[in-house]
Amino acid sequence: MSSDLKQELKEKIIEQLNLEDVTAAEIADNDPLFGDGLGLDSIDALELIVMLDKDYGIKLADPKEGRKIFESIDTMAAYIRASKA
Amino acid sequence: MKLEVYINSIGSVSVQKTFDDSGFLDEVVDYEGTSVKAVDPTYRDYIPPAAARRMAKGLKMSAVSSHNALKEAGLDNVDAIIVGTGLGCLGESEKFVRDLLDNDEQYLTPTRFIQSSHNTVAGSIALDMGCKGYNFTYVHSNISFESSLWDAKLQLENNEAENILVGAVDELVEHHVTTHQFIDHIKKEPVSREQVLRSGTKGIVFGEGSHFFVLSNQKQDTTYSRLIAMGIYNTLKKEEVSDTILVFLHTNGLTLEDLDGVILGINGDVDFDTIYQDLANGIFQTIPQFVYKHLSGEYDTASGFGFWMANKIFKTGKVPEVIRWNDIKVSQPKRLLLYNQYRGKNHSLVVLEKC
Q: B48 at the A interface (CB within 8 A)?
A: no
Q: Does A43 touch chain B (CB under 8 A)?
A: yes
Length of chain A: 85
Total count of domains within chain A: 1
Cβ within 8 Å, pair B53-A46: no
List helix spans (H) across chain B. Answer: 49-52, 57-73, 90-102, 110-115, 120-129, 144-157, 174-182, 241-251, 273-280, 293-296, 303-316
Nearest to B121 by CA among B93, B160, B151, B163: B93
Q: Does the pLDDT value for residue B127 go beyond 80?
A: yes
Residues B263 and B305: beta-carbon distance below 8 Å: no
CA-based nearest distance A50→chain B, Å: 6
Taking the C-alpha atoms of residue B100 and residue B285, their distance in angstroms, rounded to an integer, is: 53
The per-residue pLDDT for range B266-285, each reduced to its tens digit, is 999 999 999 999 999 999 99
pTM of full prediction above 0.95: no
User: A2: pLDDT confidence band, cut at 50, 70 and 90?
Assistant: low
Q: CATH 3.40.47.10: which residues of chain B?
A: 6-216, 230-354
For chain B, give percent helix, strand, coil, nearest 5.
Answer: 35, 25, 40
**Burial of residue B255, with CB atoms counted within 10 A of its CB: 0-12 exposed, 13-18 middle, 19 or more buried:** exposed
Inter-residue contact B173 to B85 (CB < 8 Å): no
Predicted confidence band of residue B53 (pLDDT cuts 50, 70, 90): confident
Return the half-sphere exposure (C-beta side, CA atoms, 13 A cut-off) of residue B349. Answer: 22
Task: Output phi, psi for B126, to 5 deg.
Answer: -65, -45
What is the per-residue DSSP string for B248-303? Answer: HHHHTT--GGG-SEEEE---SBTTTHHHHHHHHTTTTTTS-EEE-HHHH-B-TTTH
Cα distance between residue B342 and residue B203, in whole Å: 11
Residue B239 CB-density burial (10 A; 0-12 exposed, 13-18 middle, 19+ buried): exposed
Considering only CA atoms, which of B56, B295, B60 is closest in space to residue B173? B56
Burial of B268 (0-12, 13-18, 19+ CB in 10 A): buried
CB nearest A46 (choices: B50, B106, B109): B109
Q: Contact B99/B108 with Cβ under 8 angstroms?
A: yes
Domain containing A32 equals 2-84
Looking at the DSSP assignment, which residues form a beta bridge with residue B210?
B13, B169
Using the 8-state DSSP alphabet, how is residue B84 labeled?
A: E
Q: What CATH number has the domain bearing residue A73?
A: 1.10.1200.10
Shortest CA distance to B57 belongs to which of B14, B101, B96, B100? B14
* CATH architecture observed for domain B230-354: 3-Layer(aba) Sandwich (3.40)
On whether any CB of chain B is under 8 Å from the CB of A84, the answer is no
Give the Cα separation of B186 and B271 in Å (integer): 12
pLDDT digits 0-9 by tens, B4-32: 999 999 999 999 999 998 899 999 999 99
Write out chain B residues lying below 8 Å of A39, CB-based: 50
Q: Which residues of A touch B110 (CB under 8 A)?
A: 43, 46-47
pLDDT at A1 over 70: no
- Say yes or no for a CB contact (<8 Å) between A47 and B106: no
Contact between B107 and A47 using a beta-carbon 8 Å cutoff: no
Q: Compute the nearest-CA separation of B50 from chain A (Å).
A: 8
Specify the pLDDT at position B104.
87
Element at A28 (helix H, strand E): none
Helix (H, G, I), strand (E, B) or coil at B339: strand
Kindly provide the ipTM of the predicted complex, given to two decimals.
0.72
| CATH topology assigned to domain B6-216 | Peroxisomal Thiolase; Chain A, domain 1 (3.40.47)
Average pLDDT of span B215-229: 98
Q: B322 Cβ partners below 8 Å, 6+ apart? A: B25, B28, B295
Least confident of B116-120, B276-280, B305-309: B116-120
**A56 to chain B, closest Cα gap in Å:** 12
